[in-house]
Amino acid sequence: MNIPNQITISRILMIPVFMVFLLIPFNWGSIQLFGADIPVSHFVAAIIFIIAAATDWLDGYYARKYDLVTSMGKFLDPLADKLLITAAFVGLVGLDMFPAWAAVLILSREFAVTGLRLVASGSGEVIAASIWGKWKTVSQIVAAAALLLHNTIFVLIGIPFDVIMIYAAVLLTVFSGVDYFVKNKHVLRDS
């Protein structure tokens, strides 16, 4: 297994650690950060989430720079993204920090595109991430990080950045899902 794929696997392995800090109510107090009051466990969860999300960029960069792009990587990378985002949004819904309707829309798209990829893989085709899929992932990561950090920085100036990012993530998620199905309709037609 090459290094980019190992980095992707490390992202998957960080998810349970992230969930422990997000969901277990450790009594470690809270910290004030740019006007936001953040429980220490949420801050730790946010750092783990941000590091895990950054590995998405790192594995892709490394794979492209050293020509280590593989079919396994094309499959594992978006799967790792989906697992991380699913964990974050489901955890945030459970903490009443993320609207359930948005999580349902986002997760429905993720399952639908994963299903499309599985159907395509049955005929030997790999559907790589599109530019819209990449922007969708960035918007989801930024939305989750803003929520995990309790809208830090933006609290001071009164901008509901986390809410803005939730809507941006939902819109980009739905748009990119439609884009995948339109561009790959032959997969369903030929299966």
Name the residue ranges covered by the structural domains of the chain. 3-190
CB of 178 closer than 8 Å to CB of 133: no
Whether the pTM exceeds 0.85: the reply is: yes
Q: Report yes or no: 21 and 48 within 8 Å, Cβ to Cβ.
A: yes
* pLDDT at position 128: 76
Structure tokens belonging to residue 94? 């459970």
Q: Look at the block and give the residue holding tokens 């986390």.
A: 162
Q: Which neighbouring-strand residues pair with 37?
A: 32
Integer Cα distance of 113 and 155 in angstroms: 35
pLDDT recorded at residue 153:
63
Query: How distant, in Å, are the alpha carbons of 79, 87, 111, 141, 174 from that of 163?
Result: 26, 19, 24, 13, 17
DSSP 8-state class, residue 151: T
Each residue's pLDDT expressed in tens, for the chain with a length of 191 residues: 899 999 999 999 999 999 999 999 899 999 887 777 899 999 999 999 999 999 988 988 888 888 888 878 877 888 898 899 999 999 999 999 999 999 999 999 999 998 998 899 888 887 877 899 889 999 999 999 999 998 776 656 677 888 889 999 999 999 999 999 999 999 888 87
In which element (H, E) is residue 37 found?
strand 36-39
Domain 3-190 is classified in which CATH homologous superfamily? Answer: CDP-alcohol phosphotransferase transmembrane (TM) domain (1.20.120.1760)
146: buried, middle or exposed (CB in 10 Å: 19+, 13-18, 0-12)?
A: buried
